[in-house]
Structure 1
């Protein structure tokens, strides 16, 4: 497995798909039911959502603040504080997607970029991944929101963001992970490999 620990054999944990059935095909989500062979030879059923993947950016202003968004999320009926993010279009390059999402949702462009990590959001029922990037050297322009998209752009200091996380004002899981990354990057504990905007 690609994320195995060095020198560790995962064969005793791996399930093998032996059949798949489509349950639902929506605009961009697909739900499937798979029959899997378990490590002990038995079988079981796994139902999960197939997702095209997404990207998220932590935009860092020159004054030390970060750019965030407030957006209504209908499934949870709440306005959430989040870092800018969006799903990949079919065949879209991840770096092209993250630049597009930053511009569309916030109006910002960036001089430098650094890839942080790839995270999984809901491993029990979805294959969704989000690739996390940092951006700096920001220049502000106009938002280019999609039709039917309503986003309020805000800025916060890293300390304010962490306080909001501690108080439960930030509930979005990808933003909570990004706040941890931001804290470790700012402290010098974790290093980023910064590249020009063209990579």
Structure 2
């Protein structure tokens, strides 16, 4: 089945912003019906999100963060995540972000999939990683990073998603993955680090 009847073709491009982190453009495109339109979007370097699963004597707990997010002006509950550095391997980024933000390292990892959090105006892609067999060490936060690390049960996280306490798109997607993994509906093939 062809998608040709849906595809837009770029005719010109104007750079709007070239910041330290984001790069914004306005393109003129030809629509499938041959009309012209503009598309404004942000080029993003990509990111990872980690779903850290901590086995405790009381059962499974998830490692989460509370962090103030300036654009929305509120403290958000999130899974650990971070952007890719230029040329960085996503798996190495996942390991780095987990350790830097939470202090945890993991012996078992699996890449679950990807998500596009804001397809209407950004190229951002976030890789979803699961981590378990966790060991706590020292956090190494960036100088401009302030966040609280805490744990919660899967049931607590699902209730917060349901009740609107968790509204972060990547964390909601992570909760969907987690729910299906725990139910046995979306099996994962774990890799153990040496």
Bin of the TM-score, shorter chain as denominator length: over 0.9
1:26 has 2:19 as partner: yes
Map 1:46-195; keep pairs closer than 5 Å: 46-63=39-56, 64-195=60-191
Give the structure 2 partner of residue 3 of structure 1: none
Q: Deviations over 1:5-55 (max 9, x none)?
A: xxx211111111111110011111011001111112222110011100100
TM-score by structure 1 length? 0.94
C-alpha distance in 1 between matches for 2:160 and 2:120? 27
Match of residue 5 from structure 1: none
Unaligned 5+ segments in structure 2 are none
Q: What is the RMSD computed on CA atoms of the aligned residues?
A: 0.9
Which of 20, 39, 42 is the matching residue for 2:32?
39
Q: Which blocks of at least 5 consecutive residues in structure 1 are unaligned?
A: 1-7
Other structure's SS at 2:55 match: coil
CA distance in 1, matches of 2:28, 2:192: 46
State the Cα deviation string for residues 124-165 of structure 1 (Å, max 9, x = none): 111111000000000000110000211100000000000111
Q: Structure 2 CA distance, aligned partners of 1:72 and 1:162?
A: 21
